[in-house]
């Protein structure tokens, strides 16, 4: 069965995001990014709908995935779907079966907000023009944890600290599909991606209304996914 250009947002595992578009923990910015990449974003409230779409986004679930759901997601990816998970260590237990299936891991080492610059989300945010020029086109995280992967994984974002490198976003092919793991449960929320409602943009510095590096990274993920899909078709 040919998949439709639908991007499902998991909404039935007590996920830690708001459906109110103007909230910092809302995901209307994610909806915009999915639409820019050619997908119709829809909330998914039952796993039986999964195979009708092409993408599944999981954000900070607090309810554990059952064996049946894990098998369905595994088959979804196996048959050419993209699984995009934004999960920190606090929600690791909820996705443990998925991590085991795709041989990935979230380490219990909080790295906090990255890059380590002045807090851009404080009540009185300040960031130097030098830092803005240096970091605005790089990925930015709210509360990230390092990731692990058995075998070969593509690293989309990492940080080096005291002589050691920590992977923060990783991806791997699985049969005909692809799995992306982001070690930050807040990465895809409005506060870290973009606000789309004009009223929320007023009186805010531009870098608080959208973060270019994260938008560009999401686009890169879909470029890789679509390129791999084209290769599988041939």
| 96-130 pLDDT per residue, tens | 999 999 999 999 999 999 987 655 556 666 788 88
Q: Give pLDDT tens digits for 128-150.
A: 888 888 899 999 999 999 999 99
Is the alpha carbon torsion for 107, 83, 17, 29 positive or negative? positive
- Residue at 105 is within a domain: yes
Contact yes or no for 155/167 (Cβ under 8 A): yes
- Residue at 48 is within a domain: yes
Contact yes or no for 180/156 (Cβ under 8 A): yes
- Residue at 120 is within a domain: yes
- Residue at 15 is within a domain: yes
pTM for the model stands at 0.92
Rounded-to-integer distance, Cα 219 and Cα 113, Å: 22
What pLDDT shows up at residue 204?
Answer: 74
What pLDDT shows up at residue 119?
Answer: 59
Output DSSP code: residue 210: B
The two three-digit tokens of residue 222, written as one number: 């879909």
- Residue at 202 is within a domain: yes
Least trusted range by pLDDT, from 35-44, 151-160, 204-213: 204-213
**Domains in the chain, number:** 1
pLDDT average, residue stretch 171-177: 96
What pLDDT shows up at residue 234?
Answer: 44
Q: Which domain holds residue 214?
A: 6-233
Q: Give pLDDT tens digits for 188-218.
A: 999 999 987 665 666 777 888 889 999 999 9
- Residue at 1 is within a domain: no
Q: Place 1 in a pLDDT band, splitting at 50, 70 and 90.
A: very low
Helix axes 28-36, 212-233, angle to 10 degrees: 40
Residues in the chain: 234
Contact yes or no for 105/98 (Cβ under 8 A): no
Contact yes or no for 50/79 (Cβ under 8 A): no
- Residue at 217 is within a domain: yes
Rounded-to-integer distance, Cα 97 and Cα 206, Å: 39
Contact yes or no for 130/138 (Cβ under 8 A): no
Work out the mean pLDDT of the chain and round it to a whole number. 90
Residue 190 belongs to domain with CATH number: 3.40.50
- Residue at 148 is within a domain: yes
Output DSSP code: residue 64: P
Output DSSP code: residue 220: H
Q: Which of 18, 16, 19, 28 is nearest to 201 (CA)?
A: 28
Q: Place 23 in a pLDDT band, splitting at 50, 70 and 90.
A: confident
Rounded-to-integer distance, Cα 65 and Cα 234, Å: 34
What pLDDT shows up at residue 22?
Answer: 74
């Amino acid at each position: 069965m040919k998949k439709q250009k639908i991007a499902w947002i998991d909404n039935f595992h007590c996920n830690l995001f708001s459906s109110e578009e103007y909230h910092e923990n809302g995901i209307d910015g994610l909806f915009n990014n999915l639409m820019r990449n050619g997908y119709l974003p829809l909330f998914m409230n039952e796993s039986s709908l999964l195979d009708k779409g092409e993408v599944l986004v999981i954000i900070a679930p607090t309810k554990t995935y059952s064996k049946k759901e894990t098998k369905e997601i595994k088959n979804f990816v196996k048959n050419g779907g993209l699984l995009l998970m934004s999960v920190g260590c606090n929600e690791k237990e909820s996705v443990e079966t998925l991590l085991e299936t795709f041989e990935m891991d979230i380490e219990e080492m909080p790295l906090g907000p990255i890059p380590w610059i002045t807090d851009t989300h404080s009540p009185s945010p300040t960031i130097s023009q030098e830092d803005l020029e240096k970091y605005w086109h790089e990925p930015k995280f709210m509360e990230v944890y390092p990731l692990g992967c058995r075998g070969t994984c593509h690293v989309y974002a990492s940080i080096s600290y005291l002589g050691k490198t920590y992977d923060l976003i990783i991806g791997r092919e699985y049969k005909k599909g692809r799995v992306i793991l982001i070690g930050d449960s807040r990465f895809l929320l409005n506060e870290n991606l973009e606000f789309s409602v004009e009223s929320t943009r007023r009186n805010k510095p531009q870098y608080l209304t959208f973060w270019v590096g994260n938008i560009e990274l999401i686009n890169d993920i879909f470029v890789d996914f679509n390129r791999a899909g084209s290769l599988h078709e041939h």
